[in-house]
């Protein structure tokens, strides 16, 4: 079956006749996509076909489409991802023609030129990622970018639908940094964060060190117990940091405010490193994610990013820490 036809089926339910026939063409006559009954949090099902060097992914439709979470695991599974393997220790090489004229023998420059001509934006880091109109298209490389290792086409999770909360203006990072070290009962803190409902959490406990409004506004506030005080208050908690989230990361709504150095959640890791005019003091890249930490004069900056999708997941801005 032509790979173009396989890709055209992304977004269809797993029981659609065309999807069933496609799976059968790869020898999957008995496979029926289903979620793991023993894991109530599972929203995906995967099936690798070793002989053909291809893997199929299916995702719960309510999760993929950002519907009400109460609808999850009750409806269709959607064909949402396909992986074509060229260099994997447990998979044969995909033996049919690759999409867009690609070859597993292409080096990175050649592969980029083939997809760049489609006119879609590209995010680059360890992998190259294109946001095509139909799907997200990812190319990984092997042997120091000398050849293509694998190709992924997938449907990104839809963003959460807008709510009235999205109309509430968010404070600037500059204003938040100015509150580091202040009590959550300090008048300046109250004025800044009152619109986000955090004062209920402040009043309900004198010891809570995290206030989580990520599902409503896309951020968490973190506190530490201090010995000095800013302002006339007996609450010894002091604002230590704020963590801002990408939309859909850990069920969060996307942070809509600004970030240091004009970082955005749509930046690739390479773009983040280019924007911050200092070298990170810590950096770790793993198979599908990574992180970097900067200790700056006015604040610390910790960025968690995807090395698969080349996007920022979350950004934590905190009090500056001494480096020994």
Whole-model pTM: value is 0.92
CB-based burial label for 110 (10 Å; 0-12, 13-18, 19+): middle
Q: Per-residue b/e over 274-293, b at no fewer than 16 CB within 10 Å?
A: eebeeebeeeeeeeeebbbb
Task: For residue range 81-123, list pLDDT tens digits in order.
Answer: 999 999 999 999 999 999 999 999 999 999 999 999 999 999 9
CA–CA separation, 257 and 66 (whole Å):
22
Q: How confident is the model at residue 236 (pLDDT cuts 50, 70, 90)?
A: confident
CA–CA separation, 274 and 296 (whole Å):
16
Q: CB of 66 within 8 A of CB of 59?
A: no
Query: Quick one: average pLDDT of 44-59?
Result: 97
Task: For residue range 143-165, list pLDDT tens digits in order.
Answer: 999 999 999 999 999 999 999 98
What is the rounded average pLDDT for all residues in the chain? 93
């Amino acid at each position: 079956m032509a790979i173009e036809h396989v890709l055209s089926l992304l977004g269809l339910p797993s029981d659609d006749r065309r999807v069933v026939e496609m799976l059968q063409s790869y020898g999957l006559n008995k496979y029926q996509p289903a979620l793991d009954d023993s894991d109530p949090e599972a929203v995906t099902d995967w099936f690798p076909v070793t002989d053909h060097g291809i893997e199929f992914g299916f995702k719960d439709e309510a999760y993929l489409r950002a519907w009400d979470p109460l609808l999850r695991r009750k409806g269709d599974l959607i064909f949402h991802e396909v992986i074509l393997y060229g260099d994997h220790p447990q998979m044969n090489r995909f033996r049919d023609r690759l999409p867009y004229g690609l070859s597993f023998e292409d080096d990175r420059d050649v592969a980029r030129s083939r997809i760049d001509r489609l006119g879609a934006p590209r995010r680059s880091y360890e992998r190259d990622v294109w946001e095509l109109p139909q799907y997200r298209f990812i190319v990984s490389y092997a042997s120091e970018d000398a050849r293509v290792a694998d190709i992924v086409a997938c449907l990104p999770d839809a963003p959460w639908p807008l709510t009235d909360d999205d109309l509430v203006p968010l404070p600037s990072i500059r204003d938040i940094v100015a509150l580091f070290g202040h009590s959550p009962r300090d008048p300046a803190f109250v004025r800044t964060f009152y619109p986000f409902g955090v004062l209920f959490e402040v009043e309900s406990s004198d010891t809570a060190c995290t206030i989580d409004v990520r599902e409503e506004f896309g951020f968490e506030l973190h506190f530490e117990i201090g010995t000095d005080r800013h302002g006339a208050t007996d609450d010894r908690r002091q604002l230590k940091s704020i963590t801002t989230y990408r939309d859909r990361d850990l069920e969060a709504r996307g942070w809509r405010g600004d970030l240091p150095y004009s970082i955005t959640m749509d930046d690739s890791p390479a773009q983040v490193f280019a924007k911050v005019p200092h070298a990170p003091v810590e950096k770790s890249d793993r198979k599908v994610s990574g992180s970097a930490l900067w200790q700056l004069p006015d604040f610390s900056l910790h960025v968690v990013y995807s090395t698969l999708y080349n996007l920022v997941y979350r950004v934590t801005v905190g009090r500056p820490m001494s480096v020994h």
